């Protein structure tokens, strides 16, 4: 999601030919091997929150507050988000919640620029100060840095885990070789999470690590699960894709991928209409069925409500199977 978006036009779904299964009112949790807390199955990511002017802070706080009130307990942030402002805003909101929100599951990340042992410790101390916490539930390496060996970084993380400052250790944007290397430098703790970009249209980071993660009980967390709003219906009608979204789609490709991507997204929306479910329900529960925990974004309180409404409706497996084929470009 970008920091400023226009609300996408809504479409009323067609009459449902069947009644989809409903998720429980509360977000379920997943076992986290080696973690000190169960891991919520759906999280609220704060990548876009903390990048704005002071005038936007009230809306940012209202969005996080709505998330907590409506059942979100997993909040994902990082020291680089807004130069620490995202962590501070999250800490301010949670401090005002009942009892200081002791039931939350907080993930934050050490920057790829701070992977030397002394930097890792300093980064966590600074993050905890901004969050107003004595510990976080999950601490991730935001991305590897080829200039800093994991043999330096991983023992520093494990020391923080032994001290109780972090409940679990994880990584983000790691491939199999990096996961194997990280594991070799742990004595007691374990890598419990690998957070990667993952959605119906974008599987390049997740597919190569899925088998390894499954075999080693490493949970895959999926960021950009709704493809920057596309799998919520954005850009499928009058709203034109932004330059940032086009760059997100293109990345390394030399061909124009956008027209075909929009065609497949519209086909998925038709499928969602026929099934009587929100398009985002298909996107989120396809990930959940594949063993991933999605991290949705929101910049306004009503977007929190929309994400939760989508999560609480689980499409039938047959619908998810068809969605998988459509997203891959299977015309059959």
Kindly give the confidence (pLDDT) of every residue in the chain, 332 residues in length, as a single tens digit, with 9 standing for 90 and above.
333 333 444 444 443 343 334 333 479 999 999 889 999 999 999 987 655 677 788 888 999 999 999 999 999 999 999 899 999 999 999 999 988 899 999 999 999 999 999 999 999 999 999 999 999 999 999 999 999 999 999 999 999 999 999 999 999 999 999 999 999 999 999 999 999 999 999 999 999 999 999 999 999 999 999 999 999 999 999 888 888 888 888 775 667 888 999 999 999 999 999 999 999 999 999 999 999 999 999 989 999 999 999 999 999 999 999 999 999 987 54
Cα angle, residue 134 at apex, residues 132 and 138 outer, rounded to 5°: 100
Buried b (16+ CB within 10 A) or exposed e, 249-273: beeeeeeeeeeebeebbbbbbebbb
Nearest CA-CA partner of 46 in 112, 116, 93: 93
Tokens of 311: 């999560």
* Token pair for 215: 């075999």
Q: Is 29-328 CATH 3.20.20.100?
A: yes
Closest to 309 measured CA to CA, from 77, 107, 10: 10
Exactly one of 68, 81, 198, 235 is catalytic; name it.
81
Q: Where are the domains of the chain?
A: 29-328
CB under 8 Å to 305, separation ≥6 — which residues? Answer: 66, 70
What does the DSSP 8-state code read for residue 217? T
Determine whether 81 is an active site residue. Answer: yes
Name the pTM for this structure: 0.89
């Amino acid at each position: 999601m970008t920091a400023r978006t226009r609300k996408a036009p809504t479409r009323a779904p067609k009459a449902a030919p069947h009644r989809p299964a409903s998720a429980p009112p509360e977000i379920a949790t997943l076992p986290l091997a080696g973690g000190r807390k169960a891991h919520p199955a759906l999280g609220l990511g704060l990548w876009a929150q903390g990048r704005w002017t002071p005038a936007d802070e009230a809306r940012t706080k209202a969005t996080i507050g709505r998330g907590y009130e409506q059942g979100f307990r997993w909040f994902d942030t990082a020291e680089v988000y807004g130069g620490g402002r995202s962590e501070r805003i999250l800490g301010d909101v949670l401090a005002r919640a009942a009892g200081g929100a002791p039931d939350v599951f907080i993930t934050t990340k050490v920057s790829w620029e701070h992977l030397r042992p002394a930097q890792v410790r300093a980064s966590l101390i600074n993050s905890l100060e901004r969050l107003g916490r004595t510990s976080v539930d999950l601490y991730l390496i935001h991305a590897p840095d080829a200039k800093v060996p994991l043999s330096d970084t991983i023992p520093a993380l494990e020391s923080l885990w032994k001290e109780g400052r972090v409940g679990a250790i994880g990584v983000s944007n790691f491939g199999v070789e990096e996961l194997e290397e990280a594991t070799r430098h742990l004595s007691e703790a374990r890598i419990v999470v690998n957070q990667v970009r993952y959605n119906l249209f974008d599987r390049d980071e997740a597919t190569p690590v899925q088998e390894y993660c499954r075999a080693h009980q490493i949970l895959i967390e999926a960021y950009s699960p709704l493809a920057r709003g596309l799998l919520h219906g954005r850009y499928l009608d009058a709203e034109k894709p932004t330059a940032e979204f086009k760059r997100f789609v293109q990345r390394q490709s030399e061909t124009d991928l956008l027209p075909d991507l929009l065609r497949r997204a519209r086909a998925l929306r038709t499928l969602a209409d026929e099934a009587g479910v929100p398009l985002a329900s298909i996107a989120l529960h396809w990930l959940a069925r594949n063993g991933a925990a999605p991290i949705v974004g929101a910049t306004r309180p009503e977007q929190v409500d929309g994400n939760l409404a989508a999560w609480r409706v689980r499409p039938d497996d047959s619908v998810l199977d068809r969605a998988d084929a459509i997203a891959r470009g299977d015309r059959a």
